[in-house]
Amino acid sequence: MIIFTILLTPKTIAMKKIMILFAFTLMLTATAISQQGDKPAAMVFENQYIMPKSGMEDKFEAAIKAHDDKFHPDGPYKAGLRKVDYGEKAGWYVWVFGPVTYEGLDSRPAKENGHNEDWGKTIDPLVQEYGELTLSELNHDLSFGLDIMKSSPKYELWIVDLKKGQYYRFKALAEKLKKAYESTGKTAFLVYNNLVHTNNGFDVALLWSFKNFSDWANDPGPKEAVEKLYGSGSWQNLLDEWQEITEGYTTEIRSKVN
């Protein structure tokens, strides 16, 4: 029997360490690439409040639809129109540009392809006032039911101001709500982070889908699902924490026009 013996000289030990380090580096790189590949692309939304002239609502809606069909169909520059049914801005419309990527904001339709001219000729004459313009990003980690929201004709929006330094607590609270809505699978729960902060601006926005006002009025909320997941009394604890971490919030009920 022939026995081969490898002498563990300092040189061979050093080579083994280098090979192990190289293999470990490759493993970390592969893991990082895999995680990047699994991470969904950023979804950014621009919301422009618009008040049409009195008596021009139908013409305004038709003009927006024709403009969106031409310049913002399904694709990288999608847009749609929402009407605020209830809330402080009831009667206003919201033109929603998105979802788009950040690259889409840079390459959006503009003067070169006739977009701005079309807006100026067909929509501007019907507008009484342009209101607030906001930019927000969908928080994929805290949201559930994007497909449900896409097919829902109405949604409830909470525009939330958080107390300073309390986002980490909000995040934990939203994670619990997401799991609760996931467990029922019926209602979309979406969280958006405000990207452009102003003195009176919001921190986060929460959206819930619903089909009609009867369903909205009879929706018991996620209390049962929360307590099933986290135990008796967990719903009240969640409400108490909400009061502790928020400065306040504003509610809107919106309908999808197109």
pLDDT at 184: 95
Q: State whether 150 and 243 are in the same domain.
A: yes
Torsion 22-23-28-31 (CA) sign: positive
pLDDT at 37: 53
Q: Residue 49 in contact with residue 130, Cβ under 8 Å?
A: yes
Helix ranges, 51-166 (H): 57-71, 102-106, 115-122, 146-150
Q: State whether 159 and 246 are in the same domain.
A: yes
Tokens at residue 196, please?
């452009």
What is the CATH number for 196?
3.30.70.100
Last residue of a domain, one of 91, 117, 137: 137
Q: State whether 212 and 202 are in the same domain.
A: yes
pLDDT at 9: 53
Q: State whether 258 and 153 are in the same domain.
A: yes
Q: Please give the tally of structural domains in the chain.
A: 2
Q: Where are the strands (E) in 64-169, listed by range?
A: 79-86, 93-100, 127-138, 154-162
Q: State whether 79 and 158 are in the same domain.
A: no
Cβ of 126: how many Cβ atoms within 10 Å? 18
pLDDT at 11: 52
- Enumerate residue ranges in the chain where pLDDT < 50: 1-8, 13, 18, 20-36
Count how many residues are written for the chain.
258
Task: Summarize pLDDT for 134-158 with one digit per residue, the tens.
Answer: 999 999 999 999 999 999 999 999 9
Q: Residue 50 in contact with residue 83, Cβ under 8 Å?
A: no
Closest C-alpha among 132, 85, 88, 92 to residue 253: 85
Domain enclosing residue 109, as ranges: 41-137
Q: State whether 115 and 58 are in the same domain.
A: yes
| Dihedrals phi, psi of 223, to nearest 5 degrees | -55, -50
pLDDT at 5: 37
Helix ranges, 72-206 (H): 102-106, 115-122, 146-150, 167-184
Residues 6+ apart with CB under 8 A from 56: 126
pLDDT at 1: 39
Specify the DSSP element, H or E, that contains 208. Answer: strand 204-210
**Cα–Cα distance, 255 to 61 (Å, whole number):** 13
Last residue of a domain, one of 78, 111, 137: 137
pLDDT at 201: 82
**Cα–Cα distance, 247 to 189 (Å, whole number):** 21
**Cα–Cα distance, 30 to 145 (Å, whole number):** 30
| pTM higher than the cut 0.85 | no
Q: State whether 76 and 101 are in the same domain.
A: yes
pLDDT at 7: 43
Strand partners, 80: 96
pLDDT at 112: 84
